[in-house]
Amino acid sequence: MMKSFEDVQKYGKESMDATMKSVGATTKSVQAIAAEVTDYSKKSFEESTAAFEKLLGAKTLEKAIELQSEYAKAAYEGFVAEATKLGELYTDLAKEVYKPFEGYLAKLTPAK
């Protein structure tokens, strides 16, 4: 009986340790994601403002269309790059959150 109680205590402690490590990894990753989104938003706003100013200075319709096309292409490429980067950050988040539980969950799974 005492052995079982000690095992329960041990698993409880391991569970708490894994949870705390997971929460720490989550906090760190969420902060990195928030910083990335903030940086991208700021950069995107600055680029769109600059493009609008250029567009206002266009002397001909053809030049305005050219400027708009260049901006649209650059904005799309920037968005795709940012989406890829955020996807990687979210993937890393999932891996880091799960990592502390790998060993713990293996111990709980009965051997076949």
Of 106, 97, 107, 109, nearest to 19 (Cα)?
A: 97
* Per-residue pLDDT tens over the stretch 7-50: 777 777 877 888 888 888 888 899 999 999 999 999 999 999 99
pLDDT of residue 108: 64
Going by pLDDT thresholds of 50, 70 and 90, the confidence category of residue 110 is: low
pTM for the structure as a whole:
0.73
Contact indicator for 103, 6 with CB cutoff of 8 Å: no
Cα gap 53→63, rounded to integer Å: 13
Give me Rg for the CA atoms of the chain: 25
Q: Mutual orientation of helices 61-108 and 2-56 as an angle, nearest 10°?
A: 180
Instruction: Compute how many other C-beta atoms are within 10 angstroms of the C-beta atom of residue 100.
Output: 20
CA of residue 33 relative to chain centroid, distance: 4
**Per-residue pLDDT at 1 exceeds 50:** no
pLDDT of residue 19: 82
* Per-residue pLDDT tens over the stretch 50-86: 999 999 999 999 999 999 999 999 999 999 999 999 9
Q: Name the residue type at position 107.
A: K
**Per-residue pLDDT at 107 exceeds 60:** yes
Of 89, 5, 3, 4, nearest to 40 (Cα)?
A: 89
